[in-house]
Structure 1
Amino acid sequence: MNEHNSKPWYREPWLWLVLSPIILVVVVSTTMVAISVRYADDTVSDTYYKDSRMYHYSARQDERARELGLAGMVQFQSGAGKVVLELNGDLEYPQRLLLTLSHPVEADQDRHILLTRETGGRYAGSIDQPLQHRWYLRLMPELHPDRHLKAEWRLKGEIDFDLGDAAPLSPRMQ
C-alpha cells in the first residue's frame, strides 16, 4: 500500500518546505552581488599618500586665484544646450577655459566643457544633454583634464540642478 501512495521525490511538500528558503537565499544573494559589482562606489581614492602630496600643488592654484581676485558665475541653459560663464578678476582673460563637472559618486559620468571667450570675461560652451542632481565644478585655464595640476589657477563650486541652474565659482577657502 505504501508503494501505491508514494509520490516522486520532487512532489513531496516537505521537500519544498525545506528547499524554498535555501533557493530564495541563493537567488537574493546572487542578485545583491550583481548589483554591488555593477554599481560599485568609486568615491574613495586608493592613492591616499599621493593625494596628500599633491595637496600642496593644488593649494597654490587657489592662492593664485585669490591673488588675482578671481570669481565667477556659471549659468547652465539646458534647454538651449549652452553654458555661460561670467568671470571677474585682475588678469588677461584667456581665449579658452575648461569647466569640469565631477559627479559625486560615479567618476565615469564626469564631463568636461570647453568654454570659449566671447567678450571681456564672458565665456560660453555647449552641453550635450540636460544635467540633474548635484555636481562639483572646477574651472581652470589648463585645457587638458589630466593636466589640471599644471594650471596656473582654479576656481571651484558646487551645483544642485534640483535647486537651480546657476552656481558661483571661487577659490577654495583654506
Structure 2
Amino acid sequence: MNEPTSKPWYREFWAWMVLAPLIAVVIVSSITVSLAVRHADDKVTDNYYKDGRMYHFSAEQDQRAQALQLAAMVQFQRGEDQTVVVELNGNTDYPEKLLLTLSHPVEEDLDQHIVLSQLSVGRYSGSVTTELNSRWYLRLMPELDPEQHKSAEWRLKGEINFELGEAAPLNAASR
C-alpha cells in the first residue's frame, strides 16, 4: 500500500488560501498607518482660554494699523533668485526691518518667515527660499521674532494666489 506522503504546511494550497488575505490586510494596514502618521493634519490648539485672550491683542494690532493708515503692496519676483519687495505706506516711523510671514493654508511645515531689509523709506526687500505656488496667507509686522508675533505693535494681513498673479495688497484686518 502506498500511503500519501504529507507535505509541509507551507506547500499546502489551503494554507495559502487562508493566509494570503491575512497577510495582505497586515501590509495594507501598515502602509495606511505610516501614511496617516507621516501626513497628519496640523494640531488644533487645546488652550482656548489663552487664545481667546490673545485675540484681544490681535484686534489691537489691527486697530493700530488702521489708526496709522498703514497699507502695503507685496510683489514677488520668481526665478532663480526669488525675492519679495514690499512697499509700505502710512503715518509711521519706518523700521529698519520687517517680518513677512507666508503661511500655507494646509501644511504648517511649508510656512516661511522672511526678514525684509529697508532699501529706502517705505521700501523693503528679502529673499524667498520656498517654492511659491497656489495660495498663501501673508502677514507683515515690525516684530522680527515669529514667536512674538502677538506682541507686535501693528500688523497687516493679506492673501495671494500665485496662479492669479505675483502681487497682493496688505491691509489691517477690519472687524
Please indicate, yes or no, whether the TM-score normalized by the shorter chain is above 0.5. yes
State the number of aligned residues. 173
Give aligned-pair identity as a percent.
Answer: 61
Residue 163 (structure 1) shift = 2.8
Deviation at 1:47, TM superposition (A): 2.3
User: 1:1-174 residue pairs with structure 2 within 5 A?
Assistant: 1-4=2-5, 6-79=6-79, 80-174=81-175
Question: Mean Cα displacement is larger for which, 117-126 or 21-30?
Answer: 117-126
Tell me the amino acid that sits aligned with residue 163 of structure 1: L
Q: What amino acid does structure 2 have at the position aligned with 1:127?
A: V
Tell me how far 1:139 sits from its aligned partner. 0.3
Q: Which amino acid counterpart does residue 21 of structure 2 have in structure 1?
A: P
What is the distance in 1 between the residues matched to 2:46 and 2:125? 35
- Give how far 1:100 is off: 0.8
Give the Å deviation of 1:134. Answer: 2.2
| Alpha-carbon contact 2:157-2:171 (below 8 Å) kept | yes
Kept after mapping to 2: 8 A contact 1:78/1:129: no
In structure 2, distance between residues paired with 1:27 and 1:46: 34
What is the Cα deviation at residue 2 of structure 1?
4.7
CA distance in 1, matches of 2:115, 2:77: 15
How far 1:133 sits from its partner (Å)?
2.5
Q: Give yes or no for contact 1:58–1:149 (8 Å, CA) kept in 2.
A: yes
Q: Contact between 1:71 and 1:169, CA under 8 Å: does it hold in 2?
A: yes
| TM-score calculated relative to the size of structure 1 | 0.91
- SS of 2:30's partner is helix
Q: Distance in 1 between matches of 2:38 and 2:131?
A: 24
Name the aligned partner's letter for residue 129 of structure 2: D
SS at 1:61's partner residue? helix
TM-score, normalised on structure 2? 0.90
Deviations 1:64-94 (A, max 9, x none): 1111111111111121321101112122211
> Could you say what secondary structure the match of 1:94 adopts?
coil
In structure 1, list runs of 5 or more residues that go unmatched: none
Measured in 1, the distance between the counterparts of 2:22 and 2:104 equals 39
In 1, Cα distance between equivalents of 2:42 and 2:85: 30
| Alpha-carbon distance in 1 for matches of 2:20, 2:48 | 46
